Each structure stands twice: as C-alpha cells, then as structure tokens.
Chains A and B, each alone.
Chain A
C-alpha cells in the first residue's frame, strides 16, 4: 500500500519554506554556486583593499545597518563594525544578552522597532537556531545571520571558504577537509559543510560520539571514527571550539582527555598533506583543540581567517544592500 497521500493533500509550495531572497544571508545551505563564487570573488577584492592602507570607500554610503547581538560576541561584532565603517555605512550596534526579553519585549517587537527607525540591514546574532530566518520572514530589512544558535554562521563559513581558496589556489574540487570536535553544537561546522559541499570539497567529520549529531551523513559528509583517520591525507583541518559547559552537561569527561583523543597536535598535522592548513574559528582554547605549536606553527591560517572575516563581511553587506535596493 502506498501511504504518502500527505504530499498530495498538502498545498503546493507549503508556507514553511522561506523563498530565497538575496537581501538576506541566512545560511549557506542551498546557496547557488554562482552566488557563492561571486561573493568569494568580491571578498577577495576587499581582502586586497584591506592589505592596502587607505581611506574608507563609499560603497555603502547612505545605507543604515544595525548590528543586533543577542548573544555575546567580540570578534564577529568588531569584524562587522569594521566592515561597515570601511564601506562608509551608517551603523549602530547593540548587545543585549537578555535585556529586551527581560522587559517582556519579544525578539520580533525589538527588531520591528529598530526597523521603524529606517534600517536597511540587520546583522543579527541570537542563541535560538532559526532566529535569523524567523526575522527575515517578518522584516522588510535585509537580515544577515551572524550566528543563530547551533544552526549556521554563514559569514564564518564564507571566511573559511575564502581562506581555503587562498590556500588551495582557488581549486575546491578534489580537496578534502577534516572538521574535528563538537559538531553537534557548531554553527561554524554546518555553514562550512554546506559551503564546501556546494564547491565540491569532500568533508570528513570526527569527534566524540556524544557531540556528533544523528544522521550527519545526510548532510553529505563522511564520519571518521578517529581524528587520525579524518586527517590522514587531508588538505586542511578545521578544529572547532570546545565550550567548557560540555563537561558540566556530562557530554565529555575532561579537557585533557578531549585533547589527547581529538586535539590537533603536530603529530596529527603530519598525517595531512605537506601543504595542508590548520583552521580554527576562535577563540582558541590553547592546548585543547590546538596544541600551541600548531596554533602558531607554519600550517596555521588562524589569523588569516580573522582578516578574511572583515573582507567577507564587506562583500556580504554590499551584496545584501544591493538586493535590498532593488526592492519595489
């Protein structure tokens, strides 16, 4: 008996899938390859401009941006603010760990109020997965996801791709990367997996079983049982940040055990290709995810990632602002 009459009964284009709109950057899942390559190319141009000291450009003059951070962040926020200032956007930021919700105001109310002050783009970080998509569904402004819960962190994903593009001479096909650590709670991992998948790079993940989400294979990655197996012959390794609260939650025994079993150290780096790179989204727990010699060693591109972050955010802001201005 064929059971799935559900599909025939459901309305066509059921409402819960948000139509893709380029004024938002909510994630790298499903991003068209051409759009991704354009963004990387423009990011590379901004990276070159960053390396040449000089006055800000006027590329976003007259565009208003609000950086709304509902979860603490230093580097992402500073990176966005610098990008906005380099392009001469009018930008304001607020960090509100809980304040607005404490006052009984919902997330949507808060952002609608800010939008009413005539903001073109909202850069949002929020502890709830899906918060950026939720706002995009209800706001006229363009929404740029600066990290939503454990879902995605697309500008981090783009800066990782830009860093790999530079390290790999622009060729993503035929490469393989190992992503190591707390996959379950990592929005960085998800954006990287979607972005790399779009560009044809093979992804192997490794980490403690208690931090490996169910059926991650369905996202097009392979799962290695050990970090050695994941890194063997790889072109890059991305070590994910380990939150200390994972120990309190009983998901891990101790930092030292984690470091011995899944830390990226010089011995493990030697399993990779000779020119392979070591990445980390930061901030690093030195001696836990990366041994100090690896973090500061010749394979590390950690600081290049940070610089690329500003460049990528310049490109994303411009991309979303341009799409927003095309609105009828």
Chain B
C-alpha cells in the first residue's frame, strides 16, 4: 500500500499562495494552488495549526484537498493522511552547511543519531558535517563509513572531508577520491590552514573537483591563548583577548590566494566587520569567494560572557556591538551568501569549568530558525522568504547540492513553519546531547511544526504527534469500509 500525505492549506514560503501539497514515495507529486485564498485573506487559525482533518475518501468539503488525494488512481484511498497546515508556511527543508556531529570518537558530545534528530527538530533536512572528528575524516573510507552510518537517521548527512591529513596543515588528502566517495566540501574546520603555501596548493588542486575549500580563518599566533573577544569585557574579566585581526588577516590572505589560483573558498563563520569588508573587496575583483555567518553573531555581543559564562564561549568569539551591526548589514547587502549554525555540542562537564579551560563552541541546530525570525525577520532586516532562502537554496548553491523546490517530482524535503508562534528555549528538551547554548530561557518567535525528509515525517511538534496517532487509528477503519 502506497502512502500519500497531503499537506492541506499551507502557505508557499516564497509566493505566499495557499497550497495543498501531495507527497508520495518520498517525492512531491502535486502542488495545488488554492485560488482565491491568497495569503492574508484568511489568517492562520490559532490552535488549529497542524491538526489532522480526518476526512474519509470521497467526503466533500469546501476546503477539500486536491482530487488526486481523494481519488488516487489504483490505490486504496485509505492510505491518505491529510494534515491541516492551517495556513502555516511550507518551505523546502533547511540546510545547515556547518555542523559538528562529533562521530566518530566524541560521542559523549553528540552522535549522528542525536545530531540529526536535533537537525530535524530545527527544521533541517540536510546537514554538512565537519571532519574534525577522532579520527579525522581524511580518507574515502571514512566518508563511506559516515554515509552508510547516516543512512538511517533523521536528515540527509553530507560529509565534509579534511583538506590535509589529520588536519595537520601539511599533506593534502585525496580530493578526487573523497569527492567520488561523497564528500561535498573540503575543510580543516576547527583549525586554520596555517601555511599559505599549503592553502595555495589546496586551492589549485581542488579545481579538479567541484568541492569548495571551506576556510576556518584564524591566525593562531594572533589568537595566542585568547579566550574571548579582545575588548572591554575581556579587559574587565582579565581574560586574554582574541582580536578581530586574528580572523581578518586570514580572510584577506585567502582572498589573495583565490585570486592567485582561480580556486574557490567558502569562508566559515565570519564574525566581524573587517572580514565582510575583505569579502566585498574580493568580490569587486572577481574571485570566487562565498561566506557564511551564524545566528549568535547577529544576536549577541561579547557582553554576553557576563561573569564567565562558558555558554557564550565560541570561536570565533562573540564580538562588539559594532561587529554585530556589521554582520546584519552584511546579511542585508548580500555579502553573506548563506547561514550556518556551527552546531558544536560539548558535554556539561566540559563546559562546567573555569572559562579558560572550557572548550569553544555552542549548539545551534534547534535555535537557528527561531533566532533568524526573531532577530532578522521581525525587526525588518529580511523578509521571511529571503531569510529562508539563506537557510535553503543558498547553502545548496554553496555546496552544489541538488535543488529542492516546491514542485512535483522534487524530493519531499519540507519544513512547515509557524513564523508567529512563540516558544521558550529549554535546553533540557533539546534532542541534541549538547545543551551548551547561551539562549536558555529566551523567548523566540518562529517555530518548526513539522519536518519531512524524503517524504518521511522526521519531526512533528506536539499537535502533529497527536495527528500521527489519530492517523494510525483512522486508517484501518477506513479500509474496512
């Protein structure tokens, strides 16, 4: 028996049209516009979002799903599940181009299972995971292992392979074989490629592939033993500072190397004004550089470290208010090509240490969309469509992933979002093993109601959980008719 799902009365993320989307065999099979019911004419009904409309086959109703759903040819209609989206926004599933799933080797921090579960809860249907695991993902065997292991999880996992063996910054890995094995990018993330010569050769060699080199831009000597942004808070707390220049000198270096080699760089987690200026300057000269930034850089400043809060410790560090404003400006003017969470889970024990001993990094998958809507869409910097584009089409372009559109025959990688819903960040309810977030207790706007990956429901908010139970009860009854 083939199962059909109809997402009834959703709002198209880009056009705002009211649509019914029919999913079967992991694909979108129909997108029907509900003419005369454009967005705004009928506001979402509070309390009804996500509730299943239990309609049997052949039932007629003023707002019935598409004809295909009611009478699928040659299929028992009892297999149709109708989910009432109640006017919530339906978009292609979000893509996070920068997460740390920590497996193999650090599964006390996170596993592929828990990391992808967190991704699904955050509305993601694909993540690209960084190779700084133990051991490092620096050969095709590990890429194949990772892909095999990720096959049965909650979202698509695209491995990023190391640029150099063991991420030591010396000998290049087998880019061609890594690409063939399924790697989508190359990065020594967590560490910079210190030698400009090695970076040059990597950019040249990567031209034989479609893979971008993702730069973790950091001058280790300038960072020194720095623990947080160099500025008044670090001065007050007596913590060693990390200057903006530790990032910008490497961004500038790699812009020059891209120009020299004709290679392609994607800058990971840019955090400060000077880096955005360098990217703009490089684009004027033409080389192929792209850039991402993360929700914490447009939301927080180094003041969030407060009294040594290790949950506000990440690398690059939270910067000044001036840099935060510059981050928003770079997002608005298109200097930033896509968003990324830099999801970096750590255990409670690791973070519960004196500040200089705690590791860098925060989790981000489950707060990414809420921070995007709360901090960028609601204040009016971006439209919802543009914000979602930076989490969907844009990272797909950067990583050359296949397009996902709301069209028949596209994979049913979808997310249903209520952009108005308020929710409170409760780390203990995270699906990730990592609870290291500076946003605990925050009230965010914008909630993921449901996520489908390849047509399978990978996450459902509580109303949708109830819906699934109802579906199970309803289906056999319908069959017996």
Bound-complex Cα distance A106 to B351 (A)? 12
Main secondary structure of the interface of A (DSSP, over half): loop
* Nearest residue, chain B, Cβ from A13: B441
Q: How far is the CB of A161 from chain B (nearest CB, A)?
A: 19
Chain A residues within an 8 Å CB radius of B444: 9
A133 near B442 (CB under 8 angstroms)? no
- Residues of A at under 8 Å CB distance from B? 1-3, 5-6, 9-11, 14-18, 29, 106-108, 126, 128-131, 133-134, 138, 148-152, 187, 190, 213-216, 218-219
> Contacts A17-B306, A126-B354: A214 and B237 contacting too (C-beta < 8 A)?
no
B238 near A187 (CB under 8 angstroms)? yes
Binds A, one of B8-16, B72-80, B151-159, B228-236: B228-236
Q: How far is the CB of B425 from chain A (nearest CB, A)?
A: 9
Chain A residues within an 8 Å CB radius of B238: 129-130, 148-152, 187, 190
Chain B residues within an 8 Å CB radius of A18: 307
Chain B residues within an 8 Å CB radius of A138: 352
Chain B contributes a number of interface residues (CB within 8 A of A) equal to 43
B231 near A128 (CB under 8 angstroms)? no
> Contacts A15-B441, A108-B352, A128-B357: A29 and B375 contacting too (C-beta < 8 A)?
no
- What 16 new A-B contacts, CB under 8 Å, besides A16-B304, A131-B354, A219-B232? A1-B381, A5-B374, A9-B444, A10-B442, A11-B441, A16-B306, A129-B239, A129-B354, A130-B355, A150-B238, A150-B239, A151-B238, A214-B235, A215-B231, A215-B232, A219-B236
* Nearest residue, chain A, Cβ from B375: A5
Give residues 94-108 of B contacting A (CB, 8 Å): none
Q: How far is the CB of A11 from chain B (nearest CB, A)?
A: 3
Interface assignment of B133: CB less than 8 Å from any CB of chain A:
no
Q: How far is the CB of B226 from chain A (nearest CB, A)?
A: 12
19 A-B pairs (CB sep. < 8 Å): A1-B380, A1-B381, A5-B378, A5-B379, A9-B443, A9-B444, A16-B305, A128-B354, A129-B237, A130-B238, A130-B307, A130-B308, A150-B239, A214-B234, A214-B243, A218-B232, A218-B236, A219-B232, A219-B235
* Nearest residue, chain B, Cβ from A126: B354
Chain B residues within an 8 Å CB radius of A16: 304-309, 311-312
Interface assignment of B361: CB less than 8 Å from any CB of chain A:
no
A29 near B309 (CB under 8 angstroms)? no
Residue-wise, chain B 360-397 has the 8 Å CB interface mask toward A (1 for contact) of 00000000000000110011110000000000000000
Chain A residues within an 8 Å CB radius of B309: 15-16
> Contacts A129-B238, A218-B235: A134 and B443 contacting too (C-beta < 8 A)?
no
Bound-complex Cα distance A108 to B352 (A)? 9
Contact of B354 among A6, A17, A130 (CB under 8 A): A130
B235 near A14 (CB under 8 angstroms)? no
> Contacts A6-B299, A131-B354: A151 and B379 contacting too (C-beta < 8 A)?
no
Chain B residues within an 8 Å CB radius of A129: 237-239, 308, 354-356
Contact of A15 among B235, B352, B380, B440 (CB under 8 A): B440
Bound-complex Cα distance A126 to B353 (A)? 12
Chain B residues within an 8 Å CB radius of A128: 354-357
Chain A residues within an 8 Å CB radius of B311: 16
B379 near A2 (CB under 8 angstroms)? yes
Contact of A213 among B241, B307, B381 (CB under 8 A): B241
Interface assignment of B325: CB less than 8 Å from any CB of chain A:
yes
Chain A residues within an 8 Å CB radius of B39: none
Q: How far is the CB of A130 from chain B (nearest CB, A)?
A: 3
Chain A residues within an 8 Å CB radius of B232: 214-215, 218-219
Interface assignment of B300: CB less than 8 Å from any CB of chain A:
yes
Interface assignment of B258: CB less than 8 Å from any CB of chain A:
no
Q: How far is the CB of B142 from chain A (nearest CB, A)?
A: 29
Interface centre among B239, B241, B305 (most CB of A within 10 A): B239
B300 near A6 (CB under 8 angstroms)? yes
Chain B residues within an 8 Å CB radius of A6: 299-300, 375
* Nearest residue, chain B, Cβ from A10: B442
Interface assignment of B328: CB less than 8 Å from any CB of chain A:
yes
Give residues 289-321 of B contacting A (CB, 8 Å): 299-300, 304-309, 311-312
Q: How far is the CB of A203 from chain B (nearest CB, A)?
A: 14
* Nearest residue, chain B, Cβ from A249: B224
Q: How far is the CB of B246 from chain A (nearest CB, A)?
A: 13
> Contacts A16-B309, A106-B353: A213 and B374 contacting too (C-beta < 8 A)?
no
